[in-house]
Amino acid sequence: MAVGALLAAGCASSDLSKSAETNGEVAECLPTDAPAPSAVVRAIWFPNTSSFGSTDASPLGHATGVLVLAGDKLYFMTWNDPEHHFDMRHVIDFLPALRIGVDRLGTSAMLVIQSGNLSFDSFVLMKGGQFSSDPQVTQELYEKLQALRAKNPQADPQTGPAGNASAGAPGFRSCVNACRVNPRRDETQRAPSCGNSRSCRPGGRARSATC
């Protein structure tokens, strides 16, 4: 099954980690020094968003793609269907993050990360083919991130030790995203485009710096 079709496949978990084809395409887009992915999930990225309640208020829109856990970073990529490869859209160093939590609305779940610069990134992990959150995989990914943070404690000289939010993610507040966002939006997905985001070509690794 083509990666584009797999991203839209119906009645499936958001977890794509067992898809050899998806993992191969993801590997092409990762930096050359990145370890193999330990998680690949279908997700919607909401930049500058701290909860379900602030998704509509964000002027940056959202983007649909995959969220990849590889080593000590999270990578968000979108599928470029005309060119048949993933494009890197955003990279998060989650170890020194101020808080990581899970916001909930009914049965839906949203992974929320507040970085040391007070910016927010939120992700709703989506089941295939339907606008339905995957709370189980969201909780599992949250626990993986927190376990890695516990093994690798970080300290920020201005804020002190990185904090860990509870699963309810209380105390989050909306701030300006630190990634320099191009105000021009993708007309289809209203997806933000960082000035230093990069494209990945088949057979080659990403070339430019990440945001």
Q: What's the angle, vertex CA 70, arms to CA 111 and CA 56, rounded to 5?
A: 25
The rounded distance, in Å, linking the Cα atoms of 109 and 134 is 7
User: Is 24 a domain residue?
Assistant: yes
Q: Is 83 within a domain?
A: yes
What is the model's pLDDT at position 17?
94
Residue 204 lies in a domain: no
pTM greater than 0.85? no
Cβ count near 70 (within 10 Å): 19
Residue 70 located in a structural domain: yes
Quick one: which of 97, 126, 90 has its CA closest to 109? 126
Domain count, the chain: 1
Q: Looking at residue 175, which CATH number applies to its domain?
A: 2.30.29.30
Asked if residue 206 belongs to a domain, the reply is no
Q: Is residue 205 part of a domain?
A: no
Confidence of residue 88 (pLDDT cuts 50, 70, 90): very high
Domain contains 172: yes
Instruction: Check residue 13 and give its pLDDT.
Output: 85
Q: Is the pLDDT of residue 125 over 80?
A: yes
* Cα–Cα dist 111/168, whole Å: 10
Report the pLDDT value the prediction gives residue 174, as an integer from 0 to 100: 33
Q: Domain span at residue 33? A: 3-199
**Average pLDDT in the 95-105 region?**
96
Predicted local distance difference test score (pLDDT) of residue 196: 40
Instruction: Give the pLDDT confidence score for residue 163 in this predicted structure.
Output: 41
Average pLDDT value for residue range 34-43: 96
